[in-house]
Structures are given as structure tokens and as C-alpha cells.
């Protein structure tokens, strides 16, 4: 099957490589020339413009274009552009982390044009090239069935790791909750290992514990596998800032849980902890310190030097996942604190807000 891919970063680029290795024909477009050249070096066809991309996809009514671009206004701009170029019967696939309400609206707006819209919640990160991607789809049965050859190659196996969740919006909804669960799991591991490291009287070996838990323990998981590997190389994480980005799905999960009346305390608190990590200094903490001194005359700490950070660029498509290991961070060239546009989108989290609020 032939498919177009817009956005050739670490996710989109690796998906192109996996599809190419699986015998699918892919035409990829990205505004960054190096990303286009990278997929060409691996056997895919590159396009230098949207016109070139669309022209390479074949007859109108049989074309499919997959987007892997930042959620929010960028996704909306790409869809608006495609809507003016595609024909009835063509398919637009959004594999990014868009808000499910935006995905529902986009499907409704494209329907009168006869253009199918499929939202695909995609999980797998930089390991997807090797291990495959878990994919949760929303859209019509007919559109998803047409894309079966693509899903079967991208998935860990043709018969597992992918499936239709329901109508448009459901794929991104399930991925949203998936990421909320992910936040909670990550926070629990981080808190537990911080406790273990703080219990100095036992001299606990965190790497040993993580490796032990990987075998037979009820808390074993792929996240624990990655944690164990990281601890083997650098248990102190001395080069890492404690800034933890949030991509929006945690926030959206909490908002929807409130609308549904479903308690989600673990997901909520884990997301709030990410907010705290993103503050260089907590104004609430400063106020608490001021109040303690005001009523009790207690000693307080004064801020002398602000935290200084730099940005380590994202792992690139085609790079081995080991490039993301903690021991390799100190060897990577860094960017100014605001990073490049792409890194700023990841750390500043474009896409947290919906494109259009409901009336």
C-alpha cells in the first residue's frame, strides 16, 4: 500500500522506516530537509512540498495521508491544507496526541467533503521502530479496514497491538486515558525509588532492586525494564534536571474525569507533580515561607542563584534507543534553555489547549 507521511521527527520518521522495511510504499514530507533526506537514505520517497507529496500518492479517492505533527494549531493547519487538496474517498490519519474533542469535530467537518478522518492514538516512542507501535483507532470500519496493511506492519504483530476503538475521537480518547495511567505509573516508580535511595542505613542498590523486580514481581512492566536499564548506568541521574514535561493528555484526562464524576486521584496528583517540576521556584512555597516567618519569626532560606538548565535535543528518527539512556546525556550537545522550535514544542507543550472551545 502507498501512504503519505507528514512530520518525520523521531516518531513519524521511525514509522516511515518501519513501513519501508515492511514492504510498504511511503512518501514523506517535512519542513526540515535533513528529516526528508534521512528517510530517503533508508529507501522511502521524499517530498519537498505538499504539492509533491499529494502528486506522488496516486489517484484521487484512493489516497491516504498520515500526520505526525504537534497537536493543536499545527495539526489544524495541516488538516485545513489537506482538506483543500484531497478528494472524496481520500483518508486523513492523525497519529499525534490531539484532543479527542478536536478529533470528533475534524471528522464532522471533513465528512461533507467525503474525506475520511481516522484518529490513531499511537504509543511506542523511540522503541516503536524495533518493537512496533500500539495503535488505538477511531473512525469508520471501512476506512480503518482500508488501512489494514499499514497497521499490520506498524504494530508489534499483524494480529495484535492495534484495533478500532469506535467512532471518530475514540482513538485519541483511549490514548488520552492511556497517558494518564502512564503518568501515575511513572510517578509511583519515581517516588518508590526515591524512598529506597533515601534509606541510607540499608545501603540499598537501586539497580539491583529494579532488576530483581523485573522477574516475577507484580510491579514488573516495560517502564520498569527501562528504569532498570537506566539505573544500571547512572543511579544518580546527576546530569538531569528534575523538569518533567506534560503533553496535555494528563490534563485532559483529569478534566474529563470531572465531567464524568469519576475520581482519578492518582492521575491528578501525578500531573500536578509535573506542574511543580516545571516551576523554577514555587510562588506558593515562597508565600508559605513568608507566612512562617511572619507569625513565628522562623529562619528561612533566601534565594541566591537561580537554576540554570540547557536542553538536550530529541532523539532523531533512526537512532538507536540507547541514545536516550542517561549515560549518554552528558555527551550530547546542548541547546539554549528555550531549545529549538521542535524542542520548545516538546518542553513548552504546544497542544495542551484545544484548537476550538465548545460554545
Q: Which residue of the set 182, 211, 229, 309 is catalytic?
A: 182
316 is catalytic: no
302 is catalytic: no
Q: Which residue of the set 10, 101, 104, 175 is catalytic?
A: 175
Q: What is the 3-state secondary structure (H, E, C) of the chain?
A: CEEEEECCCCCHHHHHHHHHHCCCEEEEECCCHHHHHHHHHCCCEEECCHHHHHHCCCCCCCCEEEECCCCCHHHHHHHHHHHCCCCCCCEEEECCCCCHHHHHHHHHHHHHHCCEEEEEEEECHHHHHHHCCEEEEECCHHHHHHCHHHHHHHCCECCECEEEEECCCHHHHHHHHHHHHHHHHHHHHHHHHHHHHHCHHHCCCHHHHHHHHCCCCCCCCHHHHHHHHHHHHCCCCCCCCCCCCCCCHHHHHHHHHHHHCCCCHHHHHHHHHHHHHCCCCCHHHHHHHHHHHHHHCCCCCCCCCCCCCCECCCCCCCCCHHHHCHHHCCCCCCECCCCCHHHHHHHHCCCCCCCCCCC
Which positions are catalytic?
A: 175, 182
Amino acid at each position: 500500500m502507498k501512504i503519505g507521511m507528514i512530520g518525520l521527527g523521531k516518531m513519524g520518521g521511525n514509522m516511515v522506516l518501519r513501513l519501508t522495511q515492511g514492504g510498504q510504499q511511503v512518501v514523506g514530507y517535512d519542513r526540515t530537509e535533513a528529516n526528508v533526506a534521512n528517510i530517503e537514505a533508508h529507501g522511502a520517497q521524499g517530498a519537498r512540498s505538499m504539492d509533491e507529496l499529494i502528486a506522488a500518492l496516486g489517484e484521487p479517492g484512493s489516497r491516504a495521508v498520515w500526520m505526525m505533527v504537534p497537536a493543536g494549531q499545527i495539526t489544524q493547519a495541516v488538516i485545513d491544507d489537506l482538506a483543500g487538496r484531497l478528494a472524496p474517498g481520500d483518508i486523513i490519519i492523525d497519529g499525534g496526541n490531539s484532543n479527542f474533542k478536536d478529533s470528533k469535530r475534524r471528522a464532522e467537518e471533513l465528512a461533507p467533503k467525503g474525506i475520511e478522518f481516522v484518529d490513531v492514538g499511537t504509543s511506542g516512542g523511540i522503541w516503536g521502530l524495533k518493537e512496533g507501535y500500539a495503535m488505538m483507532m477511531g473512525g469508520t470500519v471501512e476506512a480503518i479496514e482500508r488501512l489494514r496493511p499499514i497497521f499490520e506492519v506498524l504494530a508489534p504483530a499483524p494480529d495484535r497491538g492495534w484495533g478500532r476503538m469506535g467512532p471518530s475521537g475514540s482513538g485519541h480518547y483511549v490514548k488520552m486515558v492511556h497517558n494518564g495511567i502512564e503518568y501515575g505509573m511513572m510517578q509511583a516508580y519515581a517516588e518508590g525509588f526515591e524512598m529506597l535511595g533515601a534509606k541510607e542505613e540499608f545501603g540499598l542498590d537501586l539497580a539491583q532492586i529494579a532488576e530483581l523486580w523485573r522477574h516475577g514481581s507484580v510491579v514488573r512492566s516495560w517502564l520498569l525494564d527501562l528504569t532498570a536499564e537506566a539505573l544500571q548506568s547512572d543511579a544518580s541521574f546527576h546530569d538531569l534536571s528534575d523538569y518533567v514535561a506534560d503533553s496535555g493528555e494528563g490534563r485532559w484526562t483529569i478534566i474529563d474525569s470531572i465531567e464524568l464524576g469519576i475520581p482519578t486521584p492518582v492521575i491528578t496528583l501525578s500531573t500536578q507533580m509535573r506542574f511543580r517540576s516545571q516551576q523554577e521556584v514555587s510562588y506558593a512555597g515562597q508565600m508559605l515561607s513568608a507566612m512562617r516567618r511572619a507569625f513565628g519569626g522562623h529562619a528561612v532560606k533566601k534565594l541566591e542563584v537561580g537554576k540554570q538548565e540547557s536542553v538536550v535535543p530529541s532523539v532523531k528518527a533512526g537512532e538507536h534507543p540507547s541514545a536516550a539512556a542517561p549515560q549518554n546525556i552528558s555527551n550530547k550537545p546542548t541547546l539554549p534553555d528555550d531549545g529549538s522550535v521542535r524542542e520548545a514544542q516538546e518542553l513548552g507543550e504546544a497542544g495542551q489547549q484545544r484548537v476550538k472551545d465548545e460554545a
